[in-house]
């Protein structure tokens, strides 16, 4: 006993010894069982039984202290939890600190196990379950009104509410907020408080809104709103009732410093989203500030949101979830009630039953139907405000116009544009060839491609199957040309150009030798004009070259960039002998 007491006194004089010992041996294998060689470690592990230490004498990490405070406070507030177990990963020094700390709070603690499996358990006593008296601050009536008005004008955000709570209740608050935020996914409106709206900003859209027919009926609409709990606005399409009636309520509450919270329902999700964006733009704000929307699986609201656009189903589900869901709502606008779907009909029934319960609630029905008396009679003959309509000019835009205005392109469109430009350049180069050659028939080059002659004696009818086969051959030829070496293509182009411009037959024979040597298709087209050897030979009247090319499998129906075939070249340049050979080959 004296040896242990002297060691504890030495440890008390030198606290670093405890931390050093814990660092070297975080989990001693025989802390409580060894009495000879490890007696000093045993003394440091269980000081509370020796009565020499307080919790402040232990050197443990600050994060351990914070975590212990939070865990014990939650343990104290939990009525069902009778004991609290700490993990076996704690060091002997940390367990000693917990023993000393919890005993000072009135808890009972006990350690079990040996070595790395040793764990600590804390039990409640009657002393620790006593409720702690909280300080109560009583405010006079004027102060309470000032605080209430301030919180309504500047409501607390979720983060601010969380920071004002004790640390033990923040976890419960986070769970509640997760459920609250999850309402957007399940299709229920978030809770909020009524506030005084801010002033509307001056925008060009706001100036346009003043030209709408409903704006001229503002005084009549607001008078009906103040005098009736339920009334109806019947306006034709284009009157502006959907976007302007909610803003009239906001402006009226701002001018009179009244609090309001408005729900405006739409029959479709897209309508709720687009109307919210339009109204927010007219007020010079972003969606999610004064104006927001909440639809299934999507929400753009904030604590400052006063006007919320939603679908009929979302509001109906909100009413089904709680009978007090409308306790903070001052106005409900049900738009397009004439569409009569199952959600709108059940929503009108639910709202009619809830109106006697919430006397401060105003219900505004809006419809474009002619038979408004049906809905008016359903709400005990509520008054109806008729708003004239307005027709807007409709301008038609086709897909091509939209693509041109937006400059939208895809890789396929860019490739097609490049191919069209390439064909146009080839046509220009081909026409230039014909003009430079000085051949007869130059006057017909400018007449345009695809021109039909009256005497198509040698032309035969081409079936769709043959046309598809020819197109496939053309595509194969193009792919083969793309794989050619650049130097080989330059030699082939030079021979084709020389054969056409000079009219020498030897150039074509040299070209054939080069094609055989490089294994190039006889239907290879000039890279700048797309003219093939058969077309050039037919236009120049080289009979031997034409016969040799036909023997090598040249395609007589291959088209140049100006849609000319070998027949057209021979016919345009009056090569009757070549025409006979080509017709005989076909």
In contact, 313 and 187? CB cutoff 8 Å? yes
Q: Residue 293: pLDDT above 90?
A: yes
Classify domain 414-585 at the CATH topology level. 1.25.40
For domain 204-387, the CATH class is: alpha beta
φ and ψ of 113, to 5 deg:
90, 175
Whole-number average pLDDT of the chain: 76
| pLDDT confidence of residue 1 | 40
Alpha helices in 156-233 (DSSP H): 158-164, 167-181, 183-186, 204-209, 218-227
d(C-alpha 89, C-alpha 74), whole Å: 21
> Quick one: which of 530, 585, 523 has its CA closest to 554?
523
Provide, rounded to the nearest whole percent, the portion of the chain with pLDDT above 90. Answer: 18
Q: Residue 64: pLDDT above 90?
A: no
The tokens for 350 are 């639910």
Pairing status of strand 83-86 against strand 362-367: unpaired
pLDDT band at 562 (very low <50, low <70, confident <90, very high): confident
Q: Note the CATH architecture for domain 2-123.
A: 2-Layer Sandwich (3.30)
Q: pLDDT tens-digit profile of 137-180?
A: 888 888 888 888 888 777 777 677 777 776 656 656 555 555 55
251: left (phi > 0), else alpha (psi -120 to 50), else beta? alpha
Q: pLDDT tens-digit profile of 318-362?
A: 888 877 888 889 999 999 888 888 888 899 999 999 999 898 899
| pLDDT confidence of residue 558 | 83
| pLDDT confidence of residue 441 | 42
Q: Residue 471: pLDDT above 90?
A: no
In the chain, CATH 3.40.50.300 covers 204-387
DSSP 496-559: HHHHHHH--HHHHHHHHHHHHHHT--TT---TTT---HHHHHHHHT-HHHHHHHHHTT--TT--
| pLDDT confidence of residue 244 | 93
d(C-alpha 474, C-alpha 523), whole Å: 8
Place of tokens 């600050």: 62
Q: Residue 106: pLDDT above 80?
A: yes
In the chain, CATH 3.30.1370.50 covers 2-123
> Higher pLDDT residue, 278 or 186?
278
Half-sphere exposure of 573 (CA within 13 A, CB side): 24
> Quick one: which of 387, 247, 267 has its CA closest to 337?
267
In the chain, CATH 1.25.40.20 covers 414-585
567 secondary structure, DSSP code: H
Q: pLDDT tens-digit profile of 400-442?
A: 888 888 888 888 888 877 777 777 777 777 777 766 665 544 4
Half-sphere exposure of 528 (CA within 13 A, CB side): 12
Cα–Cα distances (Å) from 388 to 176, 213, 214, 383, 391, in that order, read 47, 6, 8, 17, 10
């Amino acid at each position: 006993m004296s040896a242990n007491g002297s060691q504890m006194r030495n440890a008390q004089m030198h606290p670093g010894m405890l931390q050093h010992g814990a660092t070297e041996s975080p989990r001693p294998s025989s802390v409580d069982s060894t009495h000879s060689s490890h007696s000093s470690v045993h003394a440091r592990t269980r000081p509370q039984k020796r009565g020499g230490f307080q919790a402040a004498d232990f050197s443990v990490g600050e994060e351990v202290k914070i975590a212990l405070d939070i865990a014990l406070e939650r343990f104290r507030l939990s009525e069902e939890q009778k004991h609290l177990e700490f993990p076996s990963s704690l060091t002997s020094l940390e367990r000693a600190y917990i023993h000393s700390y919890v005993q000072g709070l009135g808890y009972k603690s006990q350690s079990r196990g040996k070595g790395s499996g040793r764990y600590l358990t804390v039990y409640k006593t009657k002393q620790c379950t006593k409720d702690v008296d909280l300080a109560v601050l009583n405010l006079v009536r004027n102060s309470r009104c000032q605080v209430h008005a301030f919180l309504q004008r500047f409501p607390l955000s979720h983060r601010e509410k969380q920071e004002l709570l004790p640390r033990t209740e923040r976890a419960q608050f986070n769970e509640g907020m997760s459920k609250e935020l999850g309402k957007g996914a399940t299709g229920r409106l978030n809770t909020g408080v009524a506030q005084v709206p801010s002033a509307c900003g001056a925008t060009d859209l706001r100036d346009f809104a003043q030209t709408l027919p409903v704006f001229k009926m503002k005084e009549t609409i607001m008078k009906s709103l103040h005098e009736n709990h339920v009334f109806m606005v019947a306006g034709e399409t284009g009157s502006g009732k959907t976007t302007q009636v909610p803003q009239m309520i906001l402006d009226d509450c701002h001018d009179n410093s009244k609090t309001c919270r408005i729900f405006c329902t739409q029959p479709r999700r897209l309508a709720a989203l687009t109307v919210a964006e339009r109204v927010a733009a007219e007020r010079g704000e972003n969606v999610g500030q004064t104006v927001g929307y909440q639809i299934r699986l999507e929400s753009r609201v904030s604590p400052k949101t006063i006007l919320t656009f939603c679908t009929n189903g979302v509001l109906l589900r909100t009413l089904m979830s709680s009978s007090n869901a409308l306790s903070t709502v001052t106005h409900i606008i049900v738009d397009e009630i004439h569409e009569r779907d199952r959600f709108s009909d059940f929503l009108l029934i639910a709202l009619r039953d809830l109106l006697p319960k919430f006397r401060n609630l105003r219900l505004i029905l809006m419809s474009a139907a002619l038979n408004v008396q049906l809905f008016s009679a359903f709400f005990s003959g509520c008054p109806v405000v008729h708003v004239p309509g307005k027709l807007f000019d409709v301008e038609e835009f086709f897909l091509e116009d939209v693509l041109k205005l937006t400059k939208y392109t895809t890789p396929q469109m860019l490739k097609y544009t490049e191919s069209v430009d390439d064909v146009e350049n080839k046509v220009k180069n081909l026409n230039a060839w014909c003009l430079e050659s000085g051949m007869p028939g130059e006057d017909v080059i400018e007449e345009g491609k695809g021109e039909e002659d009256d005497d198509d004696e040698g032309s035969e009818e081409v079936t769709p199957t043959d046309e598809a086969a020819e197109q496939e051959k053309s595509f194969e030829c193009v792919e083969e040309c793309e794989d050619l070496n650049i130097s080989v293509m330059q030699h082939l182009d030079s021979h084709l150009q020389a054969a056409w411009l000079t009219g020498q037959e030897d150039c074509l024979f040299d070209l054939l030798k080069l094609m055989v040597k490089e294994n190039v298709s006889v239907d290879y087209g000039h890279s700048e004009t797309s003219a093939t050897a058969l077309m050039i030979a037919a236009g120049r009247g080289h009979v031997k070259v034409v016969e040799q090319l036909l023997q090598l499998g040249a395609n007589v129906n291959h088209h140049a960039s100006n849609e000319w075939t070998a027949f057209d070249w021979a016919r345009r340049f009056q090569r009757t002998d070549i025409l006979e050979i080509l017709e005989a080959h076909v």
